[in-house]
A and B are shown apart, each in its own frame.
Chain A
Amino acid sequence: MTETLLKVENLKKFFPIHGGLFGRQVGEVKAVDDISFYIKKGETLGLVGESGCGKSTTGRMLLRLLEPTQGTIEFDGQDLTKLSKEEMRKMRKEIQMVFQDPFASLNPRHTVEKILEEPLIVHGVKSKEERKKRVRELLETVGLSNWHAKRYPHQFSGGQRQRIGIARALAVHPKLIVADEPVSALDVSIQAQVLNLLQDLQKEFGLTYLFIAHDLGVVRHISDRVGVMYLGQMMELADSEALYDSPKHPYTEALLSAVPIPDVHVKKERIVLKGDVPSPANPPTGCPFHLRCPKVMGNCASVRPVFKEVEPGHYAACHLYDEQM
């Protein structure tokens, strides 16, 4: 059995809402509301959910780019939430991030060389020669060429920019990479290339990924396990195969029905959800999904379902799986 690299427990992030004449706190956005999951060494956990459900917030809390409101993040046996600011800064050598918008996340005034050198400088690679060598190595690793080093981000295509973003994340040999919708901003034709690169890198360097995406289609091939989020909560988490073949949560079923199925024999009805996603500033009581759920029952509106193992390794938060009394 492989060991666990990251274990997140009861993680919450509430953003205060300030209002009124004196900027008092008038409420909070429950961006992430009590989620727990783990990632094993060398695997990819896909994190899926509609825009605004708290995926990025979750990813950013893992690097403590956002401070968690509550919960623990155990990385390699160490609770990251207990580290000082400076200790956490150094810890970021181990956990890196790939961003959704490759252009926005690269400083337009820096050459690729400078962009890739910075993590090395920051984490104490003193020799300039060594850094230059590593930059060449990184460019090659992500499928770019040496002569790209002197160029600026605006001179590259979207796919190439994301390769630069990936190279930057790889620079200091991290263990975990949080990839926040790394292909969402790219042309469909380029997406597969970047996904393949990420998979190759994982094999080559034994990387562990938290792979965030907003639809189930993209994460399918790349993920070992997949978690589905809705309104800041984890609705279901299981092995990819189990999740795609026999989803337990009505929300996952609805999401899956929207993914185009290549296999024509499988005939699935498209489940059209009623209503809009409620605001995380004012989430529904009970199950966050109950207002739109086609299988809503008696206690869904009042009691928040517990996120629990409904089959071995298959977790869901739904009253359909409550023990009969």
Chain B
Amino acid sequence: MSEIVEQTQLPPSGPEVNVNQEEKTVSPWVDVWRRFRKNKAALFGAVLVSFFILLAILADLIAPYGFKETALENKHLPPSSDHWFGTDEFGRDIFSRVVYGARISLWVGFISVAGSVIVGSSLGIIAGYYGRWVDTIISRLFDILLAFPSILLAIAVVAMLGPSLQNALIAIAIINVPTFGRLVRSKVLTVKEEEYITAAKAIGMKDSRILLHHVLPNSLAPIIVQGTLAIATAIIEAAALGFLGMGAQPPTPEWGKMLADSKDFIMQAPWTVFFPGIAIMLTVLGFNLMGDGLRDALDPRMRN
């Protein structure tokens, strides 16, 4: 569901405060960071996310084995000093596969959300700013997309395009478009009623400049929050598609696919399921905590 972060203005005529020269200039973004820093859970989320990002970037250095290095004689070894997370049914090192898996999951998460954000926000801005029939067409399109349960829609898209990681990514990007579209549209609708938009028109500014310099930046906060949360969802959806055999194909070390391939051995070799599962959980938790923290930091009035 779309989370709408309203950023209403503070009431106008506050008490006359003295602004003195010594007081440092605080940009709104610095302010956001100050509030974010105070939120322990959000910081923990950011640490988790950074940790997985580092894993993904440095996978080649960290992973002791290649992700498709099979050794059938090492099948289903329990965790040991040689294989920290044990091995799977082909004798592959699960730790290495989980490390490389971070690359896949984050890549799918970031790229698909970036796609949804770009397409969704553009449509949302156009719908919100120009209104009338343009708005009607775009909004109905969003309604139609949202009428399907998202995972079913993703499965349908993959069924059309064929199962592969890339097509799973495209499917995930498509199902998130209306979420961002609606979010941005509603934000634009409130922003465009702001007096500073009228003021921008009054000084003779062109529509294009108003959209780029005033409407978009002031709609950014909810996009950032929703984007962070959507990465978590996208990672789960990619894993789900992988689990169903509709996403990453072997031997890609995609976490969901790893779960699916190991589910028959859950009794004999529980580590084959445990570690990829934990990896999914921690990444998703990280993005969610960070997203919630960003929401509070970007709009302090949302907190109770």
A joins B in a complex: yes
| CB within 8 Å of B: which A48-74 residues | 60, 63, 65
B195–A151 touching, CB < 8 Å: no
Q: How far is the CB of B256 from chain A (nearest CB, A)?
A: 40
A65 engages B202 (CB within 8 Å): yes
* Cβ contacts A80-105/B at 8 Å (1 or 0 each): 00000000011111001101011111
Query: Could you say which of A102, A152, A157, A189 contacts B28, with CB atoms under 8 Å apart?
Result: A152
Give the size range of B's interface with the partner.
Answer: 20 to 34
Residues of A within 8 A of B201 (CB): 65, 92
Partner of B199, one of A97, A150, A154, A185: A97
Interface residues of A, dominant DSSP? loop
* Residue B80 lies at the interface, judged by CB distance under 8 Å to chain A: no
Report Cα–Cα, A309/B149, bound state, in Å: 70
In the complex, what residues of A have CB within 8 A of residue B200's CB? 107, 118
Contact A105 B203 (CB under 8 A): no
Could you tell me if A106 and B17 are in contact, using CB atoms closer than 8 angstroms? no
Whole-angstrom CA separation of A160 from B14 in the bound complex: 12
Is the CB of A228 closer than 8 A to any CB of chain B?
no
Task: Check A109 for interface membership: any CB of B closer than 8 A.
Answer: yes
Q: A155 touching B13 by the CB < 8 A rule? A: no
In the bound complex, how far is the Cα of B56 from the Cα of A261, in angstroms?
76
Contact B16 A187 (CB under 8 A): yes
Partner of B204, one of A90, A108, A185: A90
Q: Kindly state whether residue B268 has any CB partner on chain A within 8 Å.
A: no
Asked if A273 is an interface residue, CB under 8 A from chain B, the answer is no
Task: Give the distance in Å from the alpha carbon of A171 to the alpha carbon of B264 in the complex.
Answer: 73
A60 to B195, CA, bound (A): 12
**Stretch of B19-27, B42-50, B162-170 lying at the A interface:** B19-27
Contacts of B12 in A (CB 8 A): 101-104, 158, 185
A171 to B201, CA, bound (A): 15
Known: A63-B202, A97-B202. A109 touches B218 (CB 8 A): yes
With contact pairs A103-B9, A104-B12, A106-B199 given, residues A155 and B204 touching in the complex (Cβ less than 8 Å): no
Distance between B94 CB and nearest chain A CB, rounded to angstroms: 47
How many Å from the CB of A214 to the closest CB on chain B? Answer: 15
What chain B residues lie within 8 Å of A107 (beta carbons)?
196, 200, 214, 218
The answer for the CA separation of A171 and B204 in the assembled complex, in Å, is 12
Are A154 and B10 interface neighbours, CB within 8 A? Answer: yes
Secondary structure of the B contact surface, majority rule? loop
Within 8 A of A (CB), among B185-203: 194-196, 198-203
Q: CB-CB < 8 A to B218: which residues of A?
A: 107-109
Chain B residues near A104: list those with CB within 8 A: 9, 12, 194-196
Interface residue? B34 (CB, 8 A): no
Total A-B pairs, Cβ < 8 A: 104
Instruction: Enumerate chain A residues within 8 angstroms of B304, measured Cβ to Cβ.
Output: none
Interface string of A108-126 (1 = CB under 8 A from B): 1101000000110011000
Report the nearest B residue to A88, measured CB to CB: B204
Most buried by A among B9, B12, B18: B12
- A158 near B19 (CB under 8 angstroms)? no
Q: How far is the CB of B123 from chain A (nearest CB, A)?
A: 23
Within 8 A of A (CB), among B241-296: none
On whether the beta carbons of B14 and A158 are closer than 8 Å, the reply is yes
Interface centre among A109, A145, A150, A189 (most CB of B within 10 A): A109
In the complex with contacts A109-B217, A118-B205, A123-B204, A152-B25 CB distance below 8 A: yes
Check B198 against A168 for contact (C-beta < 8 Å): no
Q: In the complex, are the beta carbons of A96 and B17 less than 8 A apart?
A: no
Q: B21 touching A147 by the CB < 8 A rule?
A: yes
Give which listed residue, A90, A103, A151, contacts B25 with CB less than 8 A. A151
Q: Do A119 and B203 touch across chains, with their CB atoms under 8 A apart?
A: yes
**B203–A168 touching, CB < 8 Å:** yes
Q: Which residues of A lie under 8 Å from residue B214 when comparing CB positions?
A: 107
| B303 close to A (CB within 8 Å) | no
A190 within 8 A of partner (CB): yes
Let me know if A156 is at the binding interface, CB within 8 A.
Answer: yes
A18 CB, min distance to chain B CBs, angstroms: 13
Residues of B within 8 A of A109 (CB): 28, 217-218
Q: For residues 132 through 174 of chain A, which have their beta carbon under 8 Å from a beta carbon of chain B? A: 145, 147-148, 150-152, 154-160, 165, 168, 171-172
In the complex, chain B residues whose CB is within 8 Å of the CB of A148: 19
Q: Which of A119, A123, A160 contacts B19 (CB 8 A)?
A: A160
Q: Closest CB-CB distance, A297 to chain B, in whole Å?
A: 42
Chain B residue with Cβ nearest A159: B16
A197, chain B: closest CB distance, angstroms: 16
Chain A residues, Cβ within 8 Å of B198: 60, 65, 99, 105
A120 CB, min distance to chain B CBs, angstroms: 9
Residues of B within 8 A of A122 (CB): 203-206, 209
Closest to A103 in B: B12
Most B CB contacts (10 A, CB to CB) among A154, A160, A165 go to: A154
Chain A residues, Cβ within 8 Å of B14: 157-158
Chain B nearest Cβ from A148, distance in angstroms: 8
Tell me, yes or no, whether A235 is within 8 Å of chain B by CB.
no
Does any Cβ of B come within 8 Å of A186's Cβ? yes
Q: Which of A169-202 contact B (CB under 8 A)?
A: 171-172, 185-187, 189-190
Which A residues, 307 to 322, have Cβ-Cβ distances below 8 Å to chain B?
Answer: none
List 9 additional contacts besides A101-B12, A172-B203; criterion CB under 8 Å.
A92-B203, A96-B203, A105-B198, A152-B26, A152-B27, A155-B19, A156-B19, A158-B12, A160-B19
A–B Cβ pairs within 8 angstroms, 17 of them: A93-B204, A96-B202, A97-B199, A103-B9, A103-B12, A105-B196, A106-B196, A107-B196, A122-B203, A122-B204, A123-B204, A151-B19, A156-B19, A157-B19, A158-B14, A172-B203, A185-B12
Please report B residues at the A interface, Cβ cutoff 8 Å.
9-10, 12-14, 16-19, 21, 23, 25-28, 194-196, 198-206, 209, 213-214, 217-218
